[in-house]
A = this chain, B = another copy of it.
Amino acid sequence: MNSAGYKTRQKAVIEDLLIKNADRHLTADDITDMLKEGGNDVGRTTVYRTLERLVTDNKVRRFSMPQGDSACYQYISAGETCHEHFHLKCNYCGALLHIECEQMSLLSEHIAKHHGFAVDNLKTVLYGVCQKCAGERK
């Protein structure tokens, strides 16, 4: 599960920052800046490469934004292993909703059975419009 590798200051401070902000979604740039402000300077390249590793290791979730905007990353908390758990992200206010829903399991099952594809709920984010924003835009 963990890609072996050496222990370094950079890896430690990046993972640490993500854990401390597990309720937020941060861009690679946010992370670079926050570390610099904290006196824990890490090169931009290293931030990207570390995030890539963490995503591969399933420790971090990556949110793909529409082109032009930068991707967001968020630490995957320990308890989040249940497969009925998934995420909704509002395109307008950016709110991230965590939902437990058996309907999602039904979809995953259906896709596995009929389309031969194993959906990873931890990595998947459904984009749309939340109730609040839908109201405001009427």
Contact = CB atoms under 8 A, between A and B. Distances in A.
Contacts of A70: 67
A101 B97 contact: no
Contact of A115 (B65, B71, B97): B97
A74 to B, nearest CB: 14
Interface residues of A, number: 35
The A contact surface, by secondary structure, is mixed
Interface in A57-78: 64-67, 70-71
Contacts of A116: 130-131, 134
A118 interface: yes
29 contacts: A64-B125, A65-B67, A66-B71, A67-B67, A67-B71, A88-B111, A88-B117, A88-B119, A90-B117, A97-B117, A99-B111, A99-B115, A101-B114, A103-B106, A103-B110, A104-B107, A106-B106, A106-B107, A107-B107, A116-B130, A116-B131, A117-B128, A117-B130, A118-B128, A118-B129, A118-B134, A124-B126, A124-B127, A124-B128
